[in-house]
Structure formats: structure tokens, C-alpha cells
Amino acid sequence: MVQYNFKKITVVPNGKDFVDIILSRTQRQTPTVVHKGYAISRIRQFYMRKVKYTQQNFYDKLSTIIDEFPRLDDIHPFYGDLLHVLYNKDHYKLALGQINTARNLISKVAKDYVKLLKYGDSLYRCKSLKVAALGRMCTVIKRIGPSLAYLEQIRQHMARLPSIDPNTRTILICGYPNVGKSSFINKITRADVDVQPYAFTTKSLFVGHTDYKYLRYQVIDTPGILDRPFEDRNIIEMCSITALAHLRAAVLFFLDISGSCGYSIAQQAALFHSIKSLFMNKPLMIVCNKTDLQPLEGISEEDKKLVAEMKDEAMKTVIGQGGEATDEAGVLLTMSTLTEDGVISVKNAACERLLNQRVELKMKSKKLNDCLNRFHVAMPKQRDQKERPACIPEAVLEARAKQAEADAEKQKRKLERDLENENGGAGVYSASLRKHYLLANEEWKEDIMPEILDGHNVYDFVDPDILQRLEELEREEGLRQEEEGDDDFEMDGAELTPEEQAALAEIRKKKSLLIQQHRVKKSTAESRPTVPRKFDKDKEFTSKRMGRQLSALGLDPTLAINRARSKSRGRKRERSVECGDDNGNDAMDVDEITPSKKQRRSRSLSMARSRSMSRPRSEFVPGEGFKDKPQKEQAIKLFKKSANKRNKDARRGESDRVIPTLKPKHLFSGKRSSGKTDRR
């Protein structure tokens, strides 16, 4: 059985990449050092080898392209016509022909220049001939660049074609667009074809597989076909026509009797009669879909007549060469892919009809006699008149009886779902969690369980005066809240003088303006740059301006200014105690309290040094995930040990692919001449 796998076709490079690949290989695989002091025969051989090697590489690469692309005359007619529909076989053959011509031209160029190189009289002449030969070969490749690009596009498209075996058991689904073909294949196979409520959702052939009687069947979903002349059909419709014409398959013609597809039964019947010639020698069945919207008995008399005519045509379809007419039962079937009513019966009927047809064809073939000669069915002959009834061992009968009892008990046992249905259904029935308790007495499961603590009933420890004490506590809490409420002061403006009320109104107005300004700035904070305070030209954020504003309101700004200054982040020099206190008391003895100048300097240096120094790496800090300092030191030690190999390999991490030596000497120092081992 021939299998077509177009995914294995080698990638076709474009013209520029093709030249780069071949010339790079020539440079790497042939000698690169030659001197004018060599014998002329050696120089000729050096350049002849380069020309021949380049020609052979071009020949092999082009031959691979020609051999791997399928020949339309040698493959199955289904694939031949499908490729013609998709790509136009004239353009396809022309592109491959140009590749073949380029291959012959390159061989001819190489042959001519090798002849000229045999008579080269100097290194310069041989090198010029070599350059000319390789240049002409590359020119030939560049001229077929469009053909190479065209073949690469075809290769990519062919790799996406479904893998269809033309010779296996196949079920083909056809009909008008949007009649339920893709929904049917999704129901009976594991295919995932896109289903949408509009026409021509399926634009190419889709393949799924299903099983029937332990045999694998191939199900093909074809795009929708419209009833119009053959020459007016587009590529999408021609894919379906090609599959119907060349595949030996059971054909399911889908008929939408509800009309929701946008086409009437008359239009679908006209399509059936226009393509009925493609149904010859194939099992044909008419499937009336979407019976959930419109049953078959509910259609009009005219439509019933059209369906009957289609059924008669299907009855006339011949199963094989000289075969009998099909049976009436399996010709017209009804189903609904939405409710899945009749889907399995349609699949089984199609598989059964196809299987019977394939068996009849094999029975009529000439190979049957050759197969029957290999078979011998042995029939035992009766040797006496004794009766020998079947004997079943007692152990087997006992095992059967036990199994039957177990099955009967299993059927009698009520499941949780049955109990739920009997007791009101979901949302009403609550499953009992106590029925699975392992207790000495089954009746104990439904007992009311007291709360037990340390072997005693919890109710034994309930304080009988707890409610009275709770009331006393609430009363005491209420009194305390009343006392605190008297101390609270809320500025509602009722007890203020007119001047104070005016100041309060001004403060509240200013506060609302500041809130609004802050919200505006917050909304534009991402796009607004931050301006340092020293570049504040408008002087909006100075303590003097704040003092003037508070003074204008009749308030003393001294406390606010001092509070703002106290929030400065700069470090202040500690004042010595020799200055005295604020009450005018004299300073204490300097020698008793103030340290010496040298001590103060050493202390300030130590403080500055401690401020600038960071914590040691091994210092233990709670919250880092370590139990104590030795555990942290051990973890640091293991980390350093694991990093040794990465550091040795000059890698930052495990996934680093760094190359320490960008130009290794053995790749950039030339070739070694014969008899020497040192590098150039």
C-alpha cells in the first residue's frame, strides 16, 4: 500500500542561500592553499578539484529537489488531480523542468571548464578559469530563483495537506455548504473541524478516523458544493469534486430538510442530479439532517416528491461491476447532529454498506481462487453412535453462581444518586455523613452527639450567671463610652466667633483646593517629570510662603514652620552640653562630661565608617530562611562550590552558551602542508 507523506520533502532554499551553501561547502571541503612555485600539474589538479566538487554539490542538491517532489503521472490519480487543482500542474512541471535544465547546464559548464583547466599554463590562468566556472554556475542558479521560491511555497502547502490513503476503507461526506457535514465528522471521529453558522467554513479536505467491527475507517469531510457549471467552480469546490471522482468510498449526501442552510430542498436535489455521475460504483446514502428543526414527515408534498426521486436514483446505483441494486432500508436515513439522534446509526449503516461492497469485489476478483487453495477447513467425522454432551467443571459453575449473586446484589444496592432522586433531588436532599461510621451498634449512627472535652460534657462547665455578668459588662462599657464622648470636641462652628468662623471657612476652602490640585497631579504623574525643589522658580513649596499664608489667615505660623524644619533629612552635628540648657542654667563642668577632642574624632570616624560599611555576607539576620549562623555559612559554602564549575567554563549561569574563545586558532590558522605538523 502506497503511503504519501509530503512532510518529508527537503526545504528548498532560495537562489542566494543556494549559492552560499554550495560555495561554503566547497571552501570547507577542498584544499585552500596553493603556491605559484608548485608544479603546473599540481596547480591544475587543485583548481579542477574545486570545479568538479562544486558541480557535484549543485547536481546532488538539485537532484534531491527533483526526486523528492512527486511526479504527477506516477502517483495516485486522486493526488495528481488534487495537486493540479491546487497548484496548476503546468506551472508545477515547468518549475521542475527548469530545475532539471539548470542541473544539466551546470554539468556542461563544469565539463567545459575542466577541459580548459587541463591546458592552463599558469596559476593566474587556472585561478581565472576556476572563478569563471563557479561564477557561471552561480548565475545559472540565480536565474532559476523564481522557480525555487515557487517550489518552496508548494512544499510548505503540501506539508499541510491531510494524509489521505486512497486505498483504505473511506467514508466521504458531501453536499451543499452549511448542511452539517463538519458537525457529523466531529461527532463520529476525533477530528476537530471548525463549525460556524455560515457557508464555506470548511475550505479544504479534513480527515478523521473511526472504528467499526474492529476495523479502522477513514472519514473525509469535503467543502460545500454549489449547483453551477463545472468551469465556474472554484478551487474549494474542485477539492470535493476530485475526492468524489477518484476515491472508492461510501458517499453520504447530506440533505438539509429544514432549509436553515440557506438553500431549498429543490436546489439540493438539483445538485444531487448534476453530480450523480460521480456516485457510480459507490455505496450511496442520502442523509436528511437537522430533523430537530423539521422532521421528514412535516415537509411539503413537492419536497417529498423530490426526496423520493433522489432515493430512486440512489437505488439505481450499482455497488460493483454487474452488482445488484441497493436495499431500500439503508438508502434514506434521518438524523440530527445537535441532539445526536441517528448519528451512530448513519455511521454504522455507511460502514456496513462499504464493508459489504469491498467483500463482494474481492469475491469476484481472480485472486480469490488463489487464496482458497491455501485454506483447508477440517470437518470431524462421527466415529461411533455415542453422545458426548458439553461438560462444564463444577468449579466453573460455582464461580458463575457467585458472580451472578454478586451482580444481583449490586443491582439491588441503592446508589447515592437513587437516594437523591427519591428524597427531592439536588438542592433538597442532603447526604448523611454518619452512615459510613464504624460503630459497634448501627443504631448509634443517628444519635445526637454531645460536645465532649477531656472526657466531660461541655455543658457541665457552662457558667449559669454568664448572662447577668454580660449585662453588667455591657453597662460598664456604655458608661465608659459616654465619658469619652464628653471629652471629644467636634468643630462644627456653632461656638466660634464670627472671625474664627471666617478663618475656619477659609481653611476648609484652601484644604479642598489643595486636595483637588493633588488629584490633578496624581492623574498626570506618569507623564509629568519630577522637578527638584531647588529649581522651584514659583517658590510654591517654601516655609516663608507658608508662613505668609498662615499669617494672612490670622494664625501664628511659628509652630508649623518649626515642625516642617524638624522633618529635614540631613544629619545634624550633636550639640555639646557645654552650651547650657534653655532655662539659662550654667553649663556643667566640661571635663566631667565632654570627652577629649581626640576621642570625639575617633568616635565620629567610627560612626561614619559603621554607617558606610555593609553587613558581612555571613551575618545571620532573622527572616532570611536560615535557622542560625552556621547553617547560613554552610549554605554560602555550598553555593560557592557549585559556582566553581560555571566560573571555570566562563558561564554566568546553567543556561549560558557563551563561547570564551571567539576565534580558536585551529579554525583560523590555515591548512597544514604535507609533512609538517605546525600551524600557519
pLDDT above 50: residue 677: yes
Q: Is residue 662 part of a domain?
A: no
* pLDDT score at 198: 74
- CB atoms under 10 Å from CB of 243, counted, come to 26
Ranked by mean pLDDT, the top range of 129-133, 313-317, 547-551 is 129-133
Between CA 614 and CA 479 the distance in angstroms is: 55
Q: Is residue 346 part of a domain?
A: yes
- With bands split at pLDDT 50, 70 and 90, how would you rate the model's confidence at 298? confident
Average pLDDT over residues 54-81: 90
**The model's pTM:** 0.52
- With bands split at pLDDT 50, 70 and 90, how would you rate the model's confidence at 586? very low
Instruction: Tell me how long the chain is.
Output: 680
Q: Which long-range contacts (CB under 8 A, 24 or more apart) does 75-80 make?
A: 75/2, 75/4, 76/2, 76/4, 76/166, 76/246, 77/246, 78/164, 78/166, 78/242, 78/243, 78/245, 78/246, 78/247, 79/4, 79/166
Q: What percent of the chain has pLDDT over 90?
A: 22
The DSSP H or E segment spanning 503 is helix 498-523
Average pLDDT over residues 580-584: 46
Judged by average pLDDT, the poorest of 229-243, 272-286, 292-306, 359-373 is 359-373
- Give me the DSSP letters along 601-661: HHHHHHHHHHHHPPPPTT---TTSS-SSHHHHHHHHHHHHHHHHHHHHTT-SSTT----S-
Higher pLDDT among residues 379 and 410, named by residue: 379
Q: Is residue 460 part of a domain?
A: no
Given a contact cutoff of 8 angstroms between Cβ atoms, the answer to whether 218 and 209 are in contact is yes
Q: Is residue 243 part of a domain?
A: yes
pLDDT above 90: residue 359: no
The domain containing residue 316 runs over which residues?
163-365
Task: Answer yes or no: do 303 and 188 share one domain.
Answer: yes
Between CA 441 and CA 61 the distance in angstroms is: 87
Higher pLDDT among residues 416 and 113, named by residue: 113
Task: Answer yes or no: do 178 and 249 share one domain.
Answer: yes
| Residue 84 cell numbers, joined | 493540479
- How many domains does the chain divide into? 2
Judged by average pLDDT, the poorest of 16-25, 323-332, 470-479, 658-667 is 323-332
Task: Answer yes or no: do 274 and 334 share one domain.
Answer: yes
Task: Answer yes or no: do 149 and 107 share one domain.
Answer: yes
189: burial class by Cβ within 10 Å (0-12, 13-18, 19+)?
Answer: buried
Task: Answer yes or no: do 169 and 253 share one domain.
Answer: yes
Among the listed residues 544, 546, 556, 555, the one whose alpha carbon sits nearest the alpha carbon of residue 504: 555
To 10 degrees, what angle do helices 235-246 and 77-87 make?
Answer: 170
Q: Which of 157, 192, 227 is the last residue of a domain?
A: 157
The DSSP H or E segment spanning 103 is helix 89-117
* pLDDT score at 415: 80
Q: Which of 141, 157, 173 is the last residue of a domain?
A: 157
Task: Answer yes or no: do 33 and 108 share one domain.
Answer: yes
To 10 degrees, what angle do helices 89-117 and 40-68 make?
Answer: 170
Among the listed residues 129, 124, 122, the one whose alpha carbon sits nearest the alpha carbon of residue 52: 129
For 128-197, strand residue ranges (E) read 170-175
SS3 call for 218: strand
Q: What radius of gyration, in Å, describes the C-alpha atoms of the chain?
A: 48
Q: Is residue 652 part of a domain?
A: no
pLDDT above 90: residue 560: no
pLDDT above 60: residue 605: no
| Residue 374 cell numbers, joined | 491455501
Among the listed residues 224, 189, 188, 190, the one whose alpha carbon sits nearest the alpha carbon of residue 205: 224
Between CA 580 and CA 561 the distance in angstroms is: 25
* pLDDT score at 66: 92
Task: Answer yes or no: do 190 and 150 share one domain.
Answer: no
Task: Answer yes or no: do 147 and 206 share one domain.
Answer: no
Q: Is residue 654 part of a domain?
A: no
For the domain that residue 247 is a member of, what is the CATH number? 3.40.50.300
Given a contact cutoff of 8 angstroms between Cβ atoms, the answer to whether 144 and 113 are in contact is no
- CB atoms under 10 Å from CB of 637, counted, come to 11
Task: Answer yes or no: do 218 and 305 share one domain.
Answer: yes
* pLDDT score at 96: 93
| Residue 277 cell numbers, joined | 455521475
Ranked by mean pLDDT, the top range of 22-26, 265-269, 278-282, 540-544 is 22-26
Q: What percent of the chain has pLDDT over 70?
A: 83
For the domain that residue 64 is a member of, what is the CATH number? 1.20.120.1190
- With bands split at pLDDT 50, 70 and 90, how would you rate the model's confidence at 529? low
Q: Is residue 332 part of a domain?
A: yes
SS3 call for 210: strand
Among the listed residues 207, 213, 291, 214, the one whose alpha carbon sits nearest the alpha carbon of residue 249: 207
* pLDDT score at 600: 59
* Per-residue pLDDT tens over the stretch 149-198: 999 999 998 888 888 888 889 999 999 888 888 899 988 888 888 887 77
Q: Which of 335, 365, 395 is the last residue of a domain?
A: 365
* pLDDT score at 539: 66
Between CA 629 and CA 544 the distance in angstroms is: 53
Enumerate the β-bridge partners of residue 134.
none
Backbone φ and ψ of 32, nearest 5°: -125, 0
For residue 236, how far is the Cα from the chain centroid?
Answer: 28
Task: Give the chain's count of helices (H) and strands (E).
Answer: 21, 8
SS3 call for 275: coil
pLDDT above 50: residue 396: yes
Higher pLDDT among residues 229 and 675, named by residue: 229
* pLDDT score at 417: 83
The DSSP H or E segment spanning 217 is strand 215-221
SS3 call for 211: strand
Task: Answer yes or no: do 72 and 184 share one domain.
Answer: no
Task: Answer yes or no: do 117 and 172 share one domain.
Answer: no
* pLDDT score at 110: 95
* pLDDT score at 172: 92
Q: Is residue 341 part of a domain?
A: yes
Task: Answer yes or no: do 205 and 290 share one domain.
Answer: yes
- With bands split at pLDDT 50, 70 and 90, how would you rate the model's confidence at 588? very low
